[in-house]
Amino acid sequence: RLPAPEFDRIVAAASDAARTGGGHIIVERFRSDFPAVLGRAELSISQGGYNTTIDILRSGVPAIVVPFSEGDETEQEDRARRLAERLYLHILPMDQMGVEPFAAAIDAAIADAPRRRAMRPVDFALEGAANTAAIVAEHASAVKRSST
């Protein structure tokens, strides 16, 4: 959802920071091998969509989520807040973005990395789709039995 000019500015800033700081920063919109890349990352910074959040939880990577929240769209913010309360990730609201808050969030997430990595595997169920399918199949079977 990030407009191209803003994305391009982030890519340029990350490139400059990596060049001057000697680090390695990758900024990408999408990777088909994202879970594998994420598992090797030192830190993930994302908006926190459902699939990305699940990948973060499964990988154990320290993470900062900047949830998309405009108008009535609050699902990313709600999910990020609940996970931040359980110490699975750090949250930086869009309306608090700035150099200092962003740097502080990065410092906090990196400092928290050993604790976060020790939390693997995630201690709550992530099989919602499979469980839902089983419930629907069970219900359909019960309806079929009662109608015969």
- Considering the domain boundaries, does residue 55 fall inside one? yes
- Considering the domain boundaries, does residue 11 fall inside one? no
- Considering the domain boundaries, does residue 24 fall inside one? no
Single-letter residue type at 2: L
Crossing angle of the two packed helices 50-59 and 75-85, in degrees rounded to 10: 20
3-class DSSP assignment, residue 124: coil
Boundaries of domain holding 41: 31-122
- Considering the domain boundaries, does residue 134 fall inside one? no
CATH number, domain containing residue 48: 3.40.50.2000
- Considering the domain boundaries, does residue 37 fall inside one? yes
pLDDT of residue 45: 92
Number of independent structural domains in the chain: 1
- Considering the domain boundaries, does residue 139 fall inside one? no
**What integer is the mean pLDDT of 110-133?**
76
pLDDT of residue 139: 92
- Considering the domain boundaries, does residue 138 fall inside one? no
pLDDT at 130 over 90: no
What residues contact residue 76 under an 8 Å CB cut-off, 6+ apart?
A: 47, 48, 49, 65, 67, 68, 69
- Considering the domain boundaries, does residue 7 fall inside one? no
Helix (H) or strand (E) holding 105: helix 99-111
The chain-wide mean pLDDT, for the chain, equals: 86
Q: Tens digits of per-residue pLDDT, 68-101?
A: 888 888 899 999 999 999 888 999 998 888 888 8
Contact between 105 and 90 under an 8 Å Cβ cutoff? The reply is yes
